[in-house]
Amino acid sequence: MIVYDLECENSHRFEGWFGSADDYDTQLSGKILSCPMCNSGNVVRRPSASYVNTGAVEKPSREKQKAMGGGAQQYANVSPEIVARVIEHIVKNTEDVGNRFPEEARKIHYNEAPERHIRGTATSQDVASLRDEGIDVVSLPVPPHLVNKIH
């Protein structure tokens, strides 16, 4: 098992676990690898230090995390399996409105469209604007194989 530090074009840093270096290359060239925070497929490998298991468990302070360029993890203390199950549940129980998400969210919020659960894509500016209007939205890293799945 190989763990690489990765970063997308939007400066989101994350770890990728691969069976081998070839597995990483195959996923990258096959456009399977994407950022779990914004779903960007433009991912690069970042330099990382080797891991040495000393047996000690040290949790870095918030100041140290910030100094290292990391903030709070988006899904702290939640296993990837649970995140995957939550995302699959959301995909199965929502309507995909694609890039019309900001428009549809506003219509629902202002009672111009029927109340329903929707998902789709939006820019970070759209998300900020929706939140400014009091519309609750959540960004989720939907894996590419679920993006076009019909509910």
Per-residue pLDDT, 108: 92
Domain range spanning residue 133?
Answer: 81-147
Q: Are residues 96 and 64 in the same domain?
A: no
Q: What is the structure's pLDDT at 148?
A: 59
Task: Looking at the structure, tell me whether residues 94 and 67 fall in a common domain.
Answer: no
The domain tally of the chain equals 2
pLDDT value of residue 58: 56
102 and 142 both lie in a single domain: yes
Backbone angles phi, psi at 128, to 5 degrees: -60, -40
Mean pLDDT by 10 residues, the chain (151 residues): 87 88 88 88 80 57 48 58 80 88 94 91 89 87 61 48
* Closest by CA position to 6, among listed 29, 30, 33, 32: 33
In this prediction, residue 59 carries a pLDDT of 55
Please report, as a single letter, which amino acid is at residue 24.
Y
Structure tokens at 96: 């995909």
Which pLDDT value is given to residue 51? 56
Which pLDDT belongs to residue 60? 53
Residue 121 located in a structural domain? yes
> Cα–Cα distance between 36 and 75 in angstroms, integer?
10
* Residue 76 in domain: no
User: Of 71, 99, 115, at which residue does a domain stop?
Assistant: 71
Same domain, 7 and 67: yes
Q: Which of 11, 38, 71 is the last residue of a domain?
A: 71
